[in-house]
Structures are given as structure tokens and as C-alpha cells.
């Protein structure tokens, strides 16, 4: 049974929806209510996100919130719908995907901050469910909550997690699992695949309408351009280049970079089989369904371009009336991706390594030297199974003074870092070159270390920790492991007392080699 009434209490503080997606018209979605669940319980509510959205924590972090975030009660002003989209999945085009287990409740305006869309995921079947049950198992929902919120704290653009509920029902996967629903917040749930949906139907008017909508909501600065659609494509390309560079700098593997999982707003979206790597391996793949490594760590930048090329193709009719000109324009815009990605990557990596003198102030060949030095670090990390996060964590704490190899081996500071390498001498050789380069820096050790520590996290949501949180929750109804891990990840750049276990890579028997979509 679905309730639509409001209690006196929440009449004072309702969610002030101002729904715009619904104004696009009925080819863009199917109005669908969530399917009620047996026994909803609120596991986690994101107080600080709620506050930043102007929502009442008192009203929503409550039994009433459990009703709303399970889909049992539709809050006043919500207009629930399932969005239509298509998408290239592992390279093959599917003209009709759509929200098969997600429902957009509506959008809210936040003064000076724009508009945010609120979506339930795991809330029951829709017309797009195909053979799926429209539900989500609790495990993947907890994973999404942990990783998306960690990403936000790591300053990576992402959809956010507002709430998690358990449903009191089971979902049938390889075995029966407890069900969960996550409430996500995004600046847009429109994907590259949303544009492809209309392209596959030859509906150029709808593509234009959608592009106008995205320009107004997410890229208002492009409105004034001579051709706003060219400017839009350029801006989307730029955001994706910046986003994927950030993933790469943290060792994050999205796992399923299908075009339906690429947000038009440049936020990380759809945390299915994603994972952070422990020891560095550029060919690392976790997703159980990625059999050919299409979405391996090192392929992510080029897959980003592949997906953006699919977007450019569907936007062609808006780029110019003349198809040949449109193709040329699209190609010119797409060309900016590689340079932008490289710039973001190198700029970020230089800060991670403490090479802070501004590139413009350095000669071109110096920048090249920095790039080579950074590449060399990655090469020795790969050859020596060094942990990605810990390498940069320890590097951020090393003094700059040039020391001899013998002194480096004896130094306490260096030993933590060099011991991450199977053959520590390879690190010793590299660190001598690094210190030579640091001698050109103007900052003293302290200034440099502060800047490095501000971008090199102490804690990332390590796969084995997520797995432990999920096991405790699913197998023993114990959410304390989830809550602890979440708490630590709230401050990823600050070493916290008594939390060293969250820094450690997995023991051999804890290694998680595969992740699952949880569909
Ligand atoms: P994903 O790989 O999770 O991005 O999902 C790809 C497509 O499958 C989307 O259209 C989803 O809505 C749909 N889907 C995934 N899981 C389910 C499910 N349990 N029930 C219905 N549809 C689903
Ligand atoms: Mg998806």
C-alpha cells in the first residue's frame, strides 16, 4: 500500500520538489511508483548531505524517512518516474535499457548550488526491468554508499548517497540475499545513453530538447556560445577528462564504463563492480563480467574517449546543418580530450609527488622530465607489487634532503616506503632521482609535505574492508563494520588514531579478486 499523506510534522519541513525532468515530456520516461516493501528499516542516513540539500534531518532520519527511502511512502511533490535510456554495453549497442530498478522521485533546488535529482535504486520493477526483479541486494547497496561517499570526500565528482534501507525482503541472486534500497543524489541522472536512446529512434528534436535541458541545468555557461551544442560537447569532454584523471590518480577502477553508466554531468555514477586497487597493476580488472578486460584500469582514459565519441556522434545533427562540417567540428572537440586528460593527469601527479613548481614556470623539457620520473615510479611499483595508496602516503612523509643509498636504507623515514617494494633497491634508486628533482623546489619540506598529504589519502575504501562490512551485514545483520569503515572514510586525508587497520592492504586470505554488479 502506498501512502501519500503527510503528517503534521513533515508539513512544516517537506522536501521541496521542483521537478523539471518530467517537463521534458512522456517520451523521456514512464511514470512509475516504487513497489512497497515488507519491513523497511533505515540503516544509514547522510545527515550532512541532507543539511546541504536543505532537508530536515529530524524529519527524515526517522521511521518516516525509512518509509520514504524504501518507496513505501511517496513524499508530497515527488513525481516518481523511470528514465528511458539506451547504451553501449561492453561495446555492443542496446537501444533500450532505462531505469530497470531505479526510480527518480524528483528534483530539489538548493539556493546558489543548483538543482539535485533524488533517485531510489532497488525500488521495484519498471517497464525497463526486462527479466530483472527491479531490486538490489543489500551488499551492492552498502558498497555504493561507502564508495560514493568516500569519492565525495576524496573530492572526486560523484553521485552521492543520502540513505540506505533494508527492505525486510529477500532477493534471489546466486543465493537468497537480504534486499536493500539506496537513495542517490546527482546533479543529473542523464547519461550518454539517454542521448543515444533518442538517436536510435531518429528523434533529433528530442536530442535537442535533452541538450537544451542539460545546458540549462548543468552547463549554463555554454548557453552564450555561438553554437551552444558544440560548447556543451566541449564541456562534457573536459569534465570527463578531469574525472577520469582523478580516478587514475587514486587507483580507482569503475568496472563497467558502458555509455549508460557515463553521466552527462561528469559525475562518477553506477557503483556496481567498482574497486580501488591495492598493489599497483595497470592491467587490473575486478569485474566478474569484464572477461576481456575492456574496462581495465589502464583502459579507462581511452574508454572515456570512446564513450564521448558515441556522444559526439549522436549530437552531430546539432553541431552543424552540414554533416561534413559537423563531423569536423566533433573531431576537433574530441581531440581536446587527450590533451586535457594528459594535463589533468600530469598536474595532479606532480602534486602527488611533491613536484610543485608551476609547470609554466618550468621549461618544457623539465615537465617532460617530471613525467618520466612519475612514469618510472609507476613502473617500479608495478614490478615490485607496491601498494598504490601506501606508496604515495609514505612518499608524502619523506624528507627532501639528498641522501646516499646507504643512508636511505638506514633511514626510518625511507624504510616504510621502500619496504612496500619487493626489491627495495629499485625504490632507493628512484628516490635519489626524486630528491635531486626536489632540490629545484622552492618549498621547504613541511610546506611540500602538507601539500602532498592533502592529495594523497591515508584511507581508501579497500575492497577487502568493503567485503568485510558486507559480510557482517548480510550474514550477521551486524552493521557496525559498515559504520566504522564509513566513519574512517569521512576524513580520508587525516591519519586517525586506532584506525591503522584501515590503511593496510589485504592479507593473502583477504584478497578480493572479483567484484559483481549485484544485478
Ligand atoms: P547496470 O549494469 O547496473 O548499469 O544496469 C544495466 C541495465 O540493467 C539498466 O537498465 C538497469 O536498470 C538494468 N538492471 C540491472 N539490474 C536490474 C534488476 N535487478 N532489475 C531490473 N533491471 C535491472
Ligand atoms: Mg547502470
Q: What share of the chain has pLDDT > 90, as a percent? A: 87
End residue of a domain, out of 315, 335, 351: 351
Which whole number is the average pLDDT over 471-497?
Answer: 97
Alpha helices in 53-191 (DSSP H): 57-60, 63-69, 138-153
Contacts of 26 (CB under 8 A, 6+ apart): none
Please report which confidence band the pLDDT of residue 411 belongs to, taking 50, 70 and 90 as the band edges: low
The pLDDT score that the predictor gives to residue 291 is 87
Q: Are residues 369 and 430 in the same domain?
A: yes
Contacts of 224 (CB under 8 A, 6+ apart): none
The pLDDT score that the predictor gives to residue 7 is 46
Q: Are residues 31 and 176 in the same domain?
A: yes
CB 65 within 8 A of CB 41: no
Which whole number is the average pLDDT over 59-72?
Answer: 97
| Residue among 109, 203, 260, 365 flagged as catalytic | 260
End residue of a domain, out of 166, 189, 212: 189
The pLDDT score that the predictor gives to residue 2 is 46
- Assess whether 500 carries a catalytic annotation: no
Alpha helices in 219-299 (DSSP H): 228-250
From residue 315, alpha-carbon distances to 188, 205, 230, 305, 320 in Å are 18, 11, 9, 15, 9
Q: Cα 463 to the chain's mean position, in Å?
A: 15
Residue 44 lies in a domain: yes
Which whole number is the average pLDDT over 42-46?
Answer: 98
For residue 270, how far is its CA from the centre of ligand 2 (angstroms)?
5
What is the residue-averaged pLDDT of the chain? Answer: 94
More confidently predicted of 512 and 89: 89
Q: Are residues 347 and 366 in the same domain?
A: no
Encode pLDDT of 205-247 as tens digits. Answer: 999 999 999 999 999 999 999 999 999 999 999 999 999 999 9
- Atom index in ligand 1 nearest the CA of residue 261 equals 4
Which whole number is the average pLDDT over 66-70?
Answer: 98
The least confident of 177-186, 253-262, 343-352, 504-513 is 504-513
Dump the DSSP string for 153-208.
Answer: HTT--B-EEEEEEEEEEEEESSSEEEEEEEEEEES---BHHHHHHHHHTT-HHHHH
Which residue do the cell numbers 581531440 mark?
A: 335
pLDDT at 1 over 50: no
- Atom index in ligand 1 nearest the CA of residue 98 equals 10
The pLDDT score that the predictor gives to residue 461 is 98
Residue nearest to atom 13 of ligand 1 (CA): 100
The least confident of 3-7, 116-120, 325-329 is 3-7
Closest CA to 250 of 155, 178, 112: 155
Q: Are residues 44 and 129 in the same domain?
A: yes
pLDDT at 442 over 90: no
Sign of the four-CA dihedral 91, 86, 152, 144: negative
pLDDT at 18 over 70: yes
Encode pLDDT of 114-157 as tens digits. Answer: 999 999 999 999 999 999 999 999 999 999 999 999 999 999 99
Residue nearest to atom 16 of ligand 1 (CA): 519
Q: Are residues 39 and 160 in the same domain?
A: yes
For residue 350, how far is its CA from the centre of ligand 2 (angstroms)?
33
Q: If residue 216 lies in a helix (H) or strand (E), which one and from where to where?
A: helix 204-218
The pLDDT score that the predictor gives to residue 121 is 98
Residue 67 lies in a domain: yes
Please report which confidence band the pLDDT of residue 366 belongs to, taking 50, 70 and 90 as the band edges: confident
The pLDDT score that the predictor gives to residue 518 is 60
Q: Are residues 46 and 184 in the same domain?
A: yes
Residue nearest to atom 22 of ligand 1 (CA): 100
Q: Are residues 122 and 159 in the same domain?
A: yes
The least confident of 192-201, 362-371, 420-429, 464-473 is 362-371
The pLDDT score that the predictor gives to residue 9 is 47
pLDDT at 361 over 70: no
Residue 408 lies in a domain: yes
For residue 261, how far is its CA from the centre of ligand 2 (angstroms)?
5
Cell of 174: 546466486
Q: How many domains does the chain have?
A: 3
Which whole number is the average pLDDT over 362-369?
Answer: 79
The pLDDT score that the predictor gives to residue 516 is 76
Residue 460 lies in a domain: no
- Measure the CA–CA gap between 47 and 49, rounded to whole angstroms: 6
End residue of a domain, out of 453, 480, 507: 453
pLDDT at 4 over 60: no
The pLDDT score that the predictor gives to residue 367 is 86
Q: Are residues 373 and 328 in the same domain?
A: no
Residues in the ligand 1 pocket, defined by CB under 6 Å = 97-101, 128-129, 132-135, 256, 260-261, 270, 272, 517, 519
Q: What share of the chain has pLDDT > 70, as a percent? A: 94
Residue 96 lies in a domain: yes
Please report which confidence band the pLDDT of residue 5 belongs to, taking 50, 70 and 90 as the band edges: very low
pLDDT at 6 over 50: no
Q: Are residues 336 and 378 in the same domain?
A: no
Residue 483 lies in a domain: no
Please report which confidence band the pLDDT of residue 13 belongs to, taking 50, 70 and 90 as the band edges: low
Q: Are residues 340 and 228 in the same domain?
A: yes
In terms of residue numbers, what domain contains 50? Answer: 21-189
Q: Are residues 335 and 426 in the same domain?
A: no
The least confident of 317-321, 372-376, 441-445 is 441-445
Q: Are residues 346 and 370 in the same domain?
A: no
Amino acid at each position: 500500500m502506498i501512502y501519500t499523506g503527510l503528517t503534521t510534522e513533515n508539513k512544516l519541513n517537506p522536501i521541496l520538489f521542483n521537478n523539471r525532468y518530467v517537463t521534458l515530456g512522456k517520451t523521456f520516461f514512464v511514470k512509475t511508483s516504487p513497489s512497497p516493501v515488507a519491513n523497511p528499516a533505515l540503516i544509514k542516513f547522510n545527515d550532512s548531505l541532507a543539511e546541504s540539500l536543505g532537508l530536515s534531518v529530524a524529519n527524515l532520519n526517522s521511521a518516516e524517512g525509512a518509509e520514504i527511502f524504501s518507496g513505501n511512502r511517496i513524499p508530497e511533490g515527488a513525481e516518481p518516474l523511470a528514465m528511458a535510456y539506451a547504451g553501449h554495453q561492453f561495446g555492443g549497442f542496446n537501444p533500450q535499457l532505462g531505469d530497470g530498478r531505479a526510480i527518480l522521485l524528483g528534483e530539489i533546488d538548493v539556493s546558489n548550488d543548483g538543482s539535485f535529482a533524488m533517485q531510489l535504486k532497488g525500488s521495484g520493477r519498471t517497464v525497463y526491468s526486462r527479466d530483472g526483479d527491479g531490486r538490489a541486494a543489500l551488499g551492492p547497496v552498502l558498497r555504493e554508499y561507502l564508495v560514493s561517499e568516500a569519492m565525495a570526500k576524496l573530492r572526486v565528482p560523484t553521485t552521492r548517497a543520502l540513505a540506505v534501507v533494508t527492505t525486510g525482503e529477500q532477493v534471489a541472486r546466486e543465493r537468497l540475499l537480504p534486499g536493500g534500497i539506496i537513495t542517490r543524489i546527482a546533479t543529473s541522472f542523464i547519461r550518454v545513453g539517454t542521448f543515444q536512446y533518442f538517436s536510435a529512434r531518429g528523434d533529433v528534436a528530442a536530442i535537442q530538447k535533452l541538450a537544451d535541458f542539460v545546458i540549462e541545468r548543468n552547463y549554463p555557461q555554454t548557453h552564450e556560445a555561438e553554437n551552444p551544442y558544440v560548447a556543451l560537447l566541449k564541456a562534457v569532454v573536459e569534465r570527463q577528462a578531469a574525472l577520469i584523471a582523478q580516478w587514475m590518480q587514486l587507483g580507482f577502477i569503475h568496472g563497467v564504463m558502458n555509455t549508460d553508466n557515463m553521466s552527462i554531468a561528469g559525475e562518477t555514477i553506477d557503483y556496481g563492480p567498482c574497486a580501488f586497487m591495492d598493489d599497483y597493476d595497470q592491467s587490473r580488472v575486478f569485474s566478474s563480467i569484464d572477461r576481456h578486460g575492456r574496462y581495465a584500469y589502464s583502459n579507462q582514459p581511452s574508454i572515456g574517449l570512446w564513450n564521448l565519441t558515441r556522444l559526439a556522434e549522436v549530437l552531430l545533427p546539432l553541431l552543424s546543418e552540414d554533416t561534413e562540417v559537423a563531423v569536423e567540428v566533433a573531431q576537433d572537440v574530441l581531440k581536446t580530450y587527450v590533451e586535457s586528460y594528459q594535463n589533468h593527469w600530469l598536474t595532479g601527479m606532480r602534486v602527488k609527488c611533491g613536484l610543485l613548481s608551476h609547470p609554466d614556470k618550468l621549461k618544457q623539457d623539465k615537465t617532460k622530465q617530471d613525467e618520466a620520473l612519475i612514469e618510472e615510479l609507476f613502473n617500479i611499483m608495478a614490478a615490485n607489487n607496491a601498494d598504490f595508496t601506501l606508496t604515495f602516503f609514505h612518499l608524502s612523509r619523506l624528507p627532501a634532503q639528498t641522501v646516499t643509498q646507504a643512508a636511505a636504507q638506514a633511514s626510518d623515514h625511507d624504510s616504510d616506503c621502500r619496504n612496500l617494494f619487493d626489491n627495495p633497491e629499485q625504490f632507493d634508486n628512484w628516490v635519489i632521482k626524486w630528491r635531486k628533482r626536489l632540490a629545484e623546489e622552492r618549498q621547504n619540506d613541511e610546506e611540500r609535505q602538507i601539500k602532498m598529504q592533502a592529495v594523497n589519502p591515508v584511507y581508501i575504501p579497500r575492497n577487502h574492508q568493503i567485503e568485510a562490512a558486507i559480510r557482517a551485514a548480510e550474514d550477521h545483520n551486524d552493521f557496525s563494520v559498515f559504520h566504522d569503515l564509513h566513519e574512517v572514510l569521512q576524513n580520508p586525508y587525516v591519519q586517525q588514531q586506532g584506525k591503522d587497520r584501515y590503511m593496510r592492504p589485504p592479507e593473502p586470505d583477504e584478497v578480493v579478486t572479483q567484484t559483481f554488479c549485484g544485478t
